[in-house]
Structure 1
């Protein structure tokens, strides 16, 4: 029986080549989109599962109430480690401290490379279950051991055995290689960790730690824990909640610090906090693209259902004959299901080809390294189930509808589908274009939001501005000489050192006091140290006062505020006012327009700028002379820096490029949404093309008669297209409120966001209407230009 079903199905596909091509192509594109989205979702959901202790690892984070707003921080103070071990050490298998993961210079002989790494506790390799290629996970127990990733070990030692070899870090400390681990995958939060150095060394090497190791207000470090087996993470989180508050006492009452555990399973998908509440994060896009994948596949299935039911009259006699010779309805249903499953299987094979072609582009846009899991039985079982499901969904309505025809009427030729027969097809067309218009509108809003943030005034000039991160002291110690050489060359306009780059605020503090401050007020100010030429180099825009100057010795105790800081502090005439920062009395000498250094979608943080010496700062900022060639200027900067720090790998970053990276997530979402919107339109138009072709064929003789009676091409074009135009317009009306609801919710997660205007919906609707009209018009005009003799000669 099944073999017969397949034979008949193949014959039908061969006989109706155009109809089969549209069905298979449309369904294969829908399946390819669903498969790509499925691979992307699998990649997102499997984030951090590389680590065997994935479900028991957590990061200790804290929340503080500052001026009525709850702020969530990943960093914690150093004394917390001892307090955690003392009070709750038995609750955890591992408690690990870590520095920031930053670029460092590693040297072996004359070879110098720059890789990212961190100083971490001795238990971190066990906690992260590193796959050791050489050595053991106990390589950090000594004060001078270092673990290298396989790629870093190859870069330093090539084919030679790295074990027990010496590596110089930042041209200062020497470490012995005690282990080599397999590179961590991109789907790990620690994927850029190229080396791990001992935590004890970091604690003893940092002057700021040695000066005040019991400082509970300096949140500069990270803490990771691994809970005991079968421990309740929520219960542990509640137990450690008040450790910091109890230790710092009354001084912390205003900020109300509260610790909590953020499980590793939430690091990637639930990383966003707003006013103390976890509002999600990447999980939003997992749901979003999952829904899009389902809808795009549904659009392809709709095409199959529409074209199958539209051709119902042509298959009515077939159904009548089969029923007359004894076929049961369930057998007819089986026949039509076999056809749809066969089409789905053929579409699946074609979809694999589409996925192979699209994966390189998709990986680039999604910033992933996905691939088809050829060797995975789960993948093939999922694909088979996925294909059968699509086949049954696509064939369900045609199977049930076509098998219901009455044999007597069908054989007499008196069977008519009736006016109501077109209603389901119309509903499905409306659904198709509703989805397409929503996706088009979403794409427009995403890119409008990106452009809105791009156009935001940033308070300085990014053109020709670069910065160099000085990982060792060589460049910092020779800053004045480098400055003199570069200015003499004429290739730069300015150079300055700072404690943070122009695209970020690395330090903050809350111990500020000033006249008129409310005692209950708590705030965290960005704290940036700069040299005197910083303002000129980055292009500060002053609203009051002046810049730092080497001509005024008192500027060593001077302070420059941004506008947000002035408003927050409530200073009416800020110039000359005294602000106490820690134990120092500083006077305000200038106010600048807000520099957008953090997220372009968030309000600017109140920030203070203090003058300091270049030797203490980690960043060198350089403004390239616009009259000079950027290539020549970079070559000159490179040569000068290497002359003073020959052992330090030279690297630089353009501020404009680093600022552009802040839009990468939204741009990625916009590009993906645009691709899916285009494919949704393509699938919808493919179905519309098939429907228009069928209607032109069905009204073949009517068109001939109308032409003989004097109808023009325009009249016939209008006759064949008006129904489709009405359906698309109706889809636009439905899509508008749906798109507005979801997009407005998405925009509200940004503090700085664009507004949704009417022209966006108009543009999406007009675009969909024009595309649909062009699709239908091809068939309509072809039918209208046909010679009427051909359609009437058989009468």
Structure 2
């Protein structure tokens, strides 16, 4: 019986090739989109699944309240470590202090590389269960040791065994390689761990780290923990919540609260607003999941519509089968069998599409996904996916076709009824409602991205290059290097800064100034700069003056931005004296010498933060900021800069970043979402138009004789086109009026997450409606005009 069903199904498919191509092609596209979105969602949900103890590992987060606004993040004070070990260690298996991800110069012989990694405590390899290829897992127990990832070890030592060999770090520290571990996968939070070095080494390298041992108000570190087996992350979070207030009552005014953020939330749910967890990338998982479901639904709707549209052609077949004893259940099974065959063919094609497009999709989505050929779970899920899709796509046609009465069909009195097309019309409305909503959503996403991109950033990012200065080799050489680079002709100005142009690395408080409100809790972005900073970046001085080497007093000077003027409540900022509220170890009073135009250093979707630019008296800037000579090409300038750099720093790899490219990375997530949404929207529209094209073909075929009679009686091409097109255009208009309010509600909610956002305008919705209308006209017109131009004698001379 099954063999018979499949044989008949195959004959029907091969007999009507155009119908089959539209049906199978539409389903294959829909399934390919759903498959690739499913792989993407699986990769997102399995971020950090590489770590066996994922459910037990957490990072310590802190919330603090300033002036009624609560900020939350992973920055914690160093004394917290001792408090955890002394008072709460029963709740933990491991407590691990760590630096932030830090680039270092690693040198072996003539090979010198820049690699990212962490200064971290010795339990980290055990907590993360690193796969050790060579050496020992407890490789950080000695202060002058280093553990390398496999790729870093290969790059530095080639075919040599690195264990026991010595590396030069930043041209000043000899570190012995104690272990080589397998590269941590890309879809983890530690994929950038090219090396691990002891936390104890970090403490000895910088005085400020040593001094921070007792400073509860210096939130410059991070801590990872693995909780004990007999407790939960929620229970431990509750216990440690007030530890900072207990240990340092002076900080009670900021209401600091400590808690643990589970590893499973680091990637998908790490956003907080006013102290509350509000999600994160999980919103994109939901977004693309919904898109995948709807795109598949559109493809299934095509199958339903085309199958029911052909119902009259199969009515006699149903009538004969019923008259010779076929039960309705058997007919349902037959039509579901056809559906299964179509879906199976579509799935095979969809797999091919996914395999061919996966590389490009990975590049677009910044992923490293592979097709799971060997995964039994994938093929099991795929089988269920095929069965569900077959049921979803074939259930309505099967029930509809099997309901025909054989007596009416065989007598020739079978009529589909004037409302028989209503389900098809409803499905077309659903299709175009989804497509129009997708169009609107994609346009608004791109509008928001462009809105932020076109926002004035306060400095000239074009032709601006930054070079990290991590090694002690750079100390005290700024003046020399500035002269050398400018004399080379490749650079017109150069400065140093303690943070990159596109980020804020330090926030400070504890200052006093005239007119400061009682109880005001300031939070200021703090960047130490050389006197040429504003000139090299192209910052505009809006009040007062810039730093000058002609004034020795400028070593105690400050430039502040316009937002800081408003934030501090200053009427006449220039000349204001800033003092330290720390009575035990205060710094010398500083004076505001100028106000600079706001520059965007954080997210371009957020308001500019109040910032101070302080004279760097210690010449320990972390970056060289260079303004390239505009009269030469960028490649020529970089070649000259590299030559000069190598003359003075032969043991350090030349590394640089164009600031405009670094700034562009701030849009990367939204740009990827916009591009992916655009692709999926285009495919959704294509699938909808395929269905519409098929339906128009069948309507034109069904009304062939009517069209012939109308033409004989004098109907023009336009009259015939209008007759065939108007019903479909009405459906699209209905779809637009349903889609617009839905899209407005959803996208307006999405935009609320951005303080700096585009205003929704009527033309966006009008453009989407017009686009859908034009697409419908083009799709329907092809078949309508073809039918209208056909020779009426051919359709009237034969039965």
TM bin, normalised by shorter chain, reads over 0.9
C-alpha distance in 2 between matches for 1:712 and 1:626: 65
Match of residue 49 from structure 2: 49
User: What SS does the aligned partner of 1:561 have?
Assistant: strand
Superposition pairs for residues 103-122 of structure 1, below 5 Å? Answer: 103-122=103-122
1:90-133 per-position Cα deviation (integer Å, ceiling 9, x unaligned): 21000000011121100112211111011000000001110111
Deviation at 1:259, TM superposition (A): 0.6
C-alpha distance in 1 between matches for 2:348 and 2:123: 48
1:51-87 per-position Cα deviation (integer Å, ceiling 9, x unaligned): 1110000000101001110001211111110111111
User: What SS does the aligned partner of 1:490 have?
Assistant: coil
User: What SS does the aligned partner of 2:335 have?
Assistant: helix
Match of residue 499 from structure 2: 500
Match of residue 60 from structure 2: 60
1:711-749 per-position Cα deviation (integer Å, ceiling 9, x unaligned): 111111111111111111110100001101110111001
C-alpha distance in 2 between matches for 1:340 and 1:614: 75
Q: Say if 1:475 and 1:641, in contact at 8 Å, map to a contact too.
A: no
Superposition pairs for residues 463-542 of structure 1, below 5 Å? Answer: 463-542=462-541
Match of residue 218 from structure 1: 218
Deviation at 1:198, TM superposition (A): 0.4
Match of residue 438 from structure 2: 439
C-alpha distance in 2 between matches for 1:205 and 1:244: 26
Match of residue 239 from structure 2: 239
Q: Say if 2:212 and 2:218, in contact at 8 Å, map to a contact too.
A: no
1:116-158 per-position Cα deviation (integer Å, ceiling 9, x unaligned): 0110000000011101111121001111221100000001100
Deviation at 1:613, TM superposition (A): 4.0
1:259-317 per-position Cα deviation (integer Å, ceiling 9, x unaligned): 11000010001011111111101111111111110110010000000011111111111
Alignment root-mean-square deviation, CA: 1.0
Q: Say if 2:97 and 2:221, in contact at 8 Å, map to a contact too.
A: yes
C-alpha distance in 2 between matches for 1:553 and 1:355: 66
Q: How many residues align?
A: 794
1:633 to 633, 637, 656: 637
Superposition pairs for residues 167-186 of structure 1, below 5 Å? Answer: 167-186=167-186
Superposition pairs for residues 736-755 of structure 1, below 5 Å? Answer: 736-755=740-759
The question of 1:155 aligning with 2:159 is answered: no
Shift in CA distance, 353/614, structure 1 to aligned 2, threshold 3 Å: farther
Deviation at 1:615, TM superposition (A): 2.9
Match of residue 16 from structure 2: 16
Q: Say if 1:31 and 1:348, in contact at 8 Å, map to a contact too.
A: yes
Structure 2 residues without counterparts, runs of 5 or longer: none
Structure 1 residues without counterparts, runs of 5 or longer: none
Match of residue 129 from structure 2: 129
Match of residue 729 from structure 1: 733
The question of 1:6 aligning with 2:6 is answered: yes
Superposition pairs for residues 560-571 of structure 1, below 5 Å? Answer: 560-571=559-570
Deviation at 1:616, TM superposition (A): 1.0
Deviation at 1:211, TM superposition (A): 3.5
Deviation at 1:614, TM superposition (A): 6.5
Deviation at 1:177, TM superposition (A): 0.8
Q: Say if 1:475 and 1:644, in contact at 8 Å, map to a contact too.
A: no
Q: Say if 2:32 and 2:350, in contact at 8 Å, map to a contact too.
A: yes
1:21-79 per-position Cα deviation (integer Å, ceiling 9, x unaligned): 11110001111000000000000000001011100000001010011100012111111
Q: Say if 1:474 and 1:644, in contact at 8 Å, map to a contact too.
A: no
C-alpha distance in 2 between matches for 1:650 and 1:741: 50
User: What SS does the aligned partner of 1:373 have?
Assistant: coil
Match of residue 187 from structure 1: 187
Using structure 1 for the length normalisation, give the TM-score.
0.99
User: What SS does the aligned partner of 2:76 have?
Assistant: coil
Match of residue 323 from structure 1: 322
C-alpha distance in 2 between matches for 1:203 and 1:482: 29
C-alpha distance in 2 between matches for 1:696 and 1:522: 74
Superposition pairs for residues 91-106 of structure 1, below 5 Å? Answer: 91-106=91-106
Deviation at 1:598, TM superposition (A): 0.4
User: What SS does the aligned partner of 2:619 have?
Assistant: helix
Q: Say if 1:75 and 1:222, in contact at 8 Å, map to a contact too.
A: yes
Superposition pairs for residues 192-591 of structure 1, below 5 Å? Answer: 192-249=192-249, 251-581=250-580, 583-584=586-587, 585-591=589-595
1:389-433 per-position Cα deviation (integer Å, ceiling 9, x unaligned): 101110000000110011100111111111111110000001001
Deviation at 1:486, TM superposition (A): 1.5
Q: Which moved more, 1:106-115 or 1:692-701?
A: 106-115
The question of 1:718 aligning with 2:717 is answered: no
Q: Which moved more, 1:212-221 or 1:675-684?
A: 212-221
Q: Say if 2:145 and 2:176, in contact at 8 Å, map to a contact too.
A: yes
Q: Which moved more, 1:466-475 or 1:725-734?
A: 466-475
Deviation at 1:443, TM superposition (A): 0.6
Shift in CA distance, 203/409, structure 1 to aligned 2, threshold 3 Å: same
Q: Which moved more, 1:637-646 or 1:336-345?
A: 637-646
Q: Say if 2:436 and 2:736, in contact at 8 Å, map to a contact too.
A: yes
C-alpha distance in 2 between matches for 1:283 and 1:637: 43
1:332-359 per-position Cα deviation (integer Å, ceiling 9, x unaligned): 1011000000100011111111111211
1:172-194 per-position Cα deviation (integer Å, ceiling 9, x unaligned): 11111111000000111000100
Superposition pairs for residues 757-776 of structure 1, below 5 Å? Answer: 757-776=761-780
Deviation at 1:388, TM superposition (A): 1.0
Q: Say if 1:469 and 1:619, in contact at 8 Å, map to a contact too.
A: yes
C-alpha distance in 1 between matches for 2:360 and 2:292: 18
User: What SS does the aligned partner of 2:75 have?
Assistant: coil
Deviation at 1:523, TM superposition (A): 2.3
Q: Say if 1:316 and 1:402, in contact at 8 Å, map to a contact too.
A: yes
Deviation at 1:212, TM superposition (A): 4.4
C-alpha distance in 2 between matches for 1:601 and 1:474: 37
User: What SS does the aligned partner of 2:322 have?
Assistant: helix
C-alpha distance in 2 between matches for 1:348 and 1:389: 12
1:514-537 per-position Cα deviation (integer Å, ceiling 9, x unaligned): 122123211210000000111100
User: What SS does the aligned partner of 1:147 have?
Assistant: strand
Using structure 2 for the length normalisation, give the TM-score.
0.98
